Amino acid sequence: MKTTIAVILCLLLAAPAAAETYRAYANERFGATADVPASWRAGPPPANGDGLVFRSPDGRAALTVSGSLNVADSVDEAMRDQATPNDGETVTYRQNGPRAVTLSGTKGDRIFYRKSILVCRDQIWNSIHLEYPARDKKAYDALVTHVARSLRPGRSEQISDCR
């Protein structure tokens, strides 16, 4: 009986992520574009226009779609900087591409997933950052995969002739 209840609860928790619909968000300043779960709500836009934070309906998960200027002196330095974990983060997954960095791991009892791509002739980072409770990992796996695959550069008003 307990096993049956546990299976039903797992299915109910996983169902919203699997059935999630998405909408595109594009940051005008830096051009970062990614799919955001349609049921998630945007927070107030920051004064500097660098991105937007979206929160899950229950408020326990957050997704940030943002951009920033690359201030490093070289692509190698930029990649190293982007691949450095933030304070308190334990990295359990790392993938580097020619102009992309993905980090995932834990920060306390939460999972973080961060993907950044270097765009606009190496002048801008476009990024997504997800954070959610570690106990809900299975429920968020499909959502993380979808959002990560959807990250793409767009037109940036920050850099003229951005390609």
Strands 90-97 and 62-69: unpaired
Element (H, E) at 101: strand 100-107
CA 99 to chain centre: 16
> What is the model's pLDDT at position 162?
73
Residues 131 and 125: their CA atoms lie apart, in Å, by: 19
Average pLDDT, the chain: 89
For 162, counting Cβ atoms within 10 Å of its Cβ (0-12 exposed, 13-18 middle, 19+ buried), the class is middle
Residues 109 and 95: their CA atoms lie apart, in Å, by: 22
| pLDDT > 60? residue 2 | no
Residues 85 and 107: their CA atoms lie apart, in Å, by: 10
Q: What is the pLDDT of residues 111-126, one digit of tens each?
A: 999 999 999 989 999 9
Structural domains for the chain: 2-150 (3.40.1000.10)
pTM: 0.85
| pLDDT > 80? residue 9 | no
Instruction: Give the pLDDT band (50/70/90) at residue 161.
Output: confident
Would you state the structure tokens that stand for residue 14, as one six-digit string? 């996983």
Would you state the structure tokens that stand for residue 130, as one six-digit string? 């997800």
Would you state the structure tokens that stand for residue 162, as one six-digit string? 């951005």
Residues 7 and 105: their CA atoms lie apart, in Å, by: 26
Asked if residues 115 and 151 have their Cβ atoms less than 8 Å apart, the reply is: yes
Q: What is the pLDDT of residues 45-90, one digit of tens each?
A: 999 999 999 999 999 999 999 999 999 999 999 999 999 999 999 9
